[in-house]
Structure 1
């Protein structure tokens, strides 16, 4: 049966065998109590005092009560040994003593079945057969002793003892086999429970972190399970509480129709639907459904059918497709940019020469327009080619350190001086003389890019833009550029740092991507959050880009200007 070492057995024994052990202890206690009552009543009725037998019954009852109270954890280790003396050993001794000391015709030998069953169920086969062999020897010894006392023919007693012992051997073997099978089934059941529990935890974790929505709907149109993404797609405001019914809100009617169609046809369904929330733009969803089982299979397994719905935000799918297209176009644009720079330079030069001979204001205005658009084309070509340049700088840039607040102050002063009226901000530099590992020109490129983005979307208030540095108690140094612009669409936020992705048609979509590449080169990180900030207008929501630096204790080096990126 069980083969656990004695030291670890009590901590790992199966619960069913613990219950059996306690059941046997309770049975022993009841037997001891019954023996004491019967012996006491018999001696009172027959008016024959036998204090030895009565004392033996009391001692047996005390021993059974003591073991029942003390043995709270579990049965002893199953192997044969002295650990069974307080239970099996005392039972054999007490029953044998009662059989020898009792003067009447009462036969106590059937009580030997209790220790035999205990050994067969809770012990090894060796313990079970050994206990049965001991009982058989006691029965044969009893037959011999009775024959010696009476002088009668004891062949019948020997035969009866042998038959009883044989029966005990058969019972102990069969009971032990049943107990062994129970132990195996219990072990398999425990392993299955552990596997099912792990699988449930993994499935719940995967579903909770899926970006696509997942709904589990029953045949009564009740949503039993939903992950946060699914609830977000269903909600027009606060997330609804589970369980909820698809009939409770009219915008969910397309999902209700699709779920019912899935149950009716018992086939997977696919459809594009729109959830129309009052006062909001439609939420386009690509929905796929599956049934957990057919009606016949559910009836046979005594389970219910459930419809699993996967909700994909069409805006996200379109944004991903647009990103892939822009990335492909970007690769092509890089090749085209090389080819257009030379003819573009010729156009600029020819326009400059032509402008020298022009005197008519209208013609000069046209020449100026040509110059502006040529400059714009040149700037776009340079931005497209910046990717290759940045990659070259990243792979060849040596490590350097700088004093963060001093560098940020200088970059801010240079950027703000270009347009003091429009470029206003709250500047809070709180890292004092903290040094970070970053190249000075790279940091200038990152900060100027973030400031240009903020300037494009910020409001007109003096505190609409904030540049701040800080050091956390854990020593993390960061730079944050915050502006009170409108919230970003989720589909835009997910792709902020991807190349050639932009929410504006006139942008190349390379600025934030280059910022991320430069930050990663120096062991820093850049992230976006929607944060509230206390301004003169009160709590104001805004867009915050945060750069987390890798702090250094090395002395500051002179910034090395190498391969300067053309802006």
Structure 2
């Protein structure tokens, strides 16, 4: 294949079989046209004194058909096939050319067919060699006719044909060379793109963040494995499904539409959004997966941080957008592990090294309170007592972490448990009975340790009481039943919602935004829920109160497994 080394790469030369097949088919058409001309012209093209002319045409047609079939079904020895075809072409055309009377017959133009084919499929030197052979044949035939004293024969015409053939072959070969270089460049770019695409697919498939490629109509065009795991999707789902077709993924759809609306209004469209996705086993696009959380406990929801980015390209008619999904549960777990590692070393010495001296300080402050009566002295004693109480609460929370695994798993009817709990909480906090509104809870029975659930709800109600407006119904608690058998217990107040940047650290141990908090209450509440097969999270939900438009509100949601699931859910009160 050294003769074709100048025709580009091996991949480009492999594509030469198609031009060779086209070359062979064109040969068949030209010979067939000549035979038809011979049959319908009324006189033999080669003259009556050349009886072998028709046989030459037929043999040439048979050879043309054979060459074409060979290039189609035997794609081997390209150079050998090409040179053999060009040699047969020149030989047959020369026979016809000589038999018809040489340059006067006008058949010299037939030489242009094999010469152009050679100019396209071979380098310049072999192509010019073929032109030289043809030119010598025409000049030799004209010279022979001159020797025979033919008066109407001139070698100049043959020379002009040869010069024209040289010029045509040179131009065609140069143009073909440029096309081959362009094809080489395109092939190289294609290989680079395929390699880059393979690398991108490998990175996207292996990255921990989920990726959804969507359009303005919520159509999903691509989804990486990490997103499938986060959303509980079936692996290898068919592309171009709609995000709003899956009710469990409606929070993502709402967040995306909200971002699109903000972008259209010229507002900040790069803000992050936090959603909670709870896969439902009733949806055909979702699979029932067991996602194990920290300590091997079942995670009943996926808390995700969403980031949006717009992709603009002239290659598609509609805009594309990319939704980046980040599993905040894993990030929270990592942060908790770092803090709990240091807390574990501290817990062993808290009981004797801190608690006993703290009790002595508190007892001494109580004794001093009986003797010191000045306002300034009483204020200082109150500061001591408040900080002693705060440290005692922190110690109690830390010690509870080691006892939280002990639970009494029993069936608990919410209809009787919640009113009793709210009554005791109101008496303890000296609250008016109308401050906390209890919504419909139905006849649901859940499996949860009563002491643990009471501790979780007291923690959430205390937190709500800190930010609520203290008006009637400013704190609400109600249940929402799901068809999948899950039960959601919502706790909400009318105070300012938790900002997303605070929500990202809400359940981390020792993280608090209040000077009176220990930073362990919500973390302990979530741990108790996980220990009872439930999940505590802070969720943003879209709701439409009467007289108000659609807006986003936050609330704490405890997702439990109901022993007696209802067939329909209860709306927000």
Match for residue 326 of structure 1? 340
Match for residue 186 of structure 1? 183
Deviations, residues 65-113 of structure 1 (Å, cap 9, x unaligned): 22222233458556xxx65442111111111111211259632100000
- How many Å separate the matches in 1 of 2:60 and 2:279? 82
Q: Relative to structure 1, is the Cα distance of residues 12 and 101 closer, same or farther in structure 2, using a 3 angstrom cutoff?
A: same
1:132 and 1:165 in contact (8 A); partners too? yes
* Matching of residue 148 in structure 1 with residue 147 in structure 2: yes
Matched position secondary structure for 1:269: coil
Say which of 85, 93, 96 aligns to 1:95. Answer: 93
Match for residue 225 of structure 1? 222
Q: Relative to structure 1, is the Cα distance of residues 149 and 116 closer, same or farther in structure 2, using a 3 angstrom cutoff?
A: same
Matches within 5 A, 1:63-142: 63-72=63-72, 73-74=74-75, 84-102=82-100, 106-142=105-141
* Matching of residue 17 in structure 1 with residue 29 in structure 2: no
- How many Å separate the matches in 1 of 2:62 and 2:110? 18
Q: Relative to structure 1, is the Cα distance of residues 266 and 197 closer, same or farther in structure 2, using a 3 angstrom cutoff?
A: farther
Deviations, residues 155-178 of structure 1 (Å, cap 9, x unaligned): xx3332222222211211111112
Report which stretch shifted further, 29-38 or 238-247: 238-247
Match for residue 310 of structure 2? 291
Shift of 1:130: 0.7
1:223 and 1:245 in contact (8 A); partners too? yes
Shift of 1:36: 3.0
Match for residue 313 of structure 1? 327
Matched position secondary structure for 1:54: helix
Matched position secondary structure for 1:211: coil
- How many Å separate the matches in 2 of 1:58 and 1:68? 16
- How many Å separate the matches in 2 of 1:50 and 1:240? 74
Q: Relative to structure 1, is the Cα distance of residues 76 and 273 closer, same or farther in structure 2, using a 3 angstrom cutoff?
A: same
Structure 1: tracts of 5 or more residues without a match: 348-376, 381-502, 508-567
Q: Relative to structure 1, is the Cα distance of residues 206 and 268 closer, same or farther in structure 2, using a 3 angstrom cutoff?
A: farther
Shift of 1:33: 2.4
1:207 and 1:227 in contact (8 A); partners too? yes
Matched position secondary structure for 2:148: helix
Shift of 1:45: 7.1
Matched position secondary structure for 1:190: helix
Match for residue 60 of structure 1? 60
Q: Relative to structure 1, is the Cα distance of residues 291 and 113 closer, same or farther in structure 2, using a 3 angstrom cutoff?
A: same
2:4 and 2:123 in contact (8 A); partners too? no
Matches within 5 A, 1:67-466: 67-72=67-72, 73-74=74-75, 84-102=82-100, 106-152=105-151, 154=153, 157-235=154-232, 242-248=239-245, 249=247, 250-261=250-261, 264=264, 269-275=270-276, 277=278, 283-293=302-312, 298-299=313-314, 304-327=318-341, 333=345
- How many Å separate the matches in 2 of 1:278 and 1:110? 76
1:140 and 1:162 in contact (8 A); partners too? yes
Matched position secondary structure for 2:321: strand
Structure 2: tracts of 5 or more residues without a match: 281-298, 358-398, 403-522, 528-573
2:231 and 2:279 in contact (8 A); partners too? no
Normalising by the residue count of structure 2, what TM-score does the alignment of the two structures yield? Answer: 0.50
- How many Å separate the matches in 1 of 2:150 and 2:50? 25
Q: Relative to structure 1, is the Cα distance of residues 274 and 260 closer, same or farther in structure 2, using a 3 angstrom cutoff?
A: same
- How many Å separate the matches in 2 of 1:9 and 1:236? 47
Shift of 1:11: 7.9
- How many Å separate the matches in 1 of 2:259 and 2:146? 86
2:209 and 2:327 in contact (8 A); partners too? yes
Matched position secondary structure for 2:272: strand
Match for residue 497 of structure 1? none
1:21 and 1:75 in contact (8 A); partners too? no
Matched position secondary structure for 1:322: helix
Deviations, residues 431-472 of structure 1 (Å, cap 9, x unaligned): xxxxxxxxxxxxxxxxxxxxxxxxxxxxxxxxxxxxxxxxxx
1:13 and 1:74 in contact (8 A); partners too? no
Deviations, residues 335-382 of structure 1 (Å, cap 9, x unaligned): x98x99x999xx9xxxxxxxxxxxxxxxxxxxxxxxxxxxxx9xx9xx
- How many Å separate the matches in 2 of 1:198 and 1:232? 26
2:142 and 2:155 in contact (8 A); partners too? yes
2:210 and 2:227 in contact (8 A); partners too? yes
1:267 and 1:290 in contact (8 A); partners too? no
Shift of 1:41: 4.2
Matched position secondary structure for 1:71: helix
2:218 and 2:253 in contact (8 A); partners too? no
2:25 and 2:68 in contact (8 A); partners too? yes
- How many Å separate the matches in 1 of 2:151 and 2:44? 31
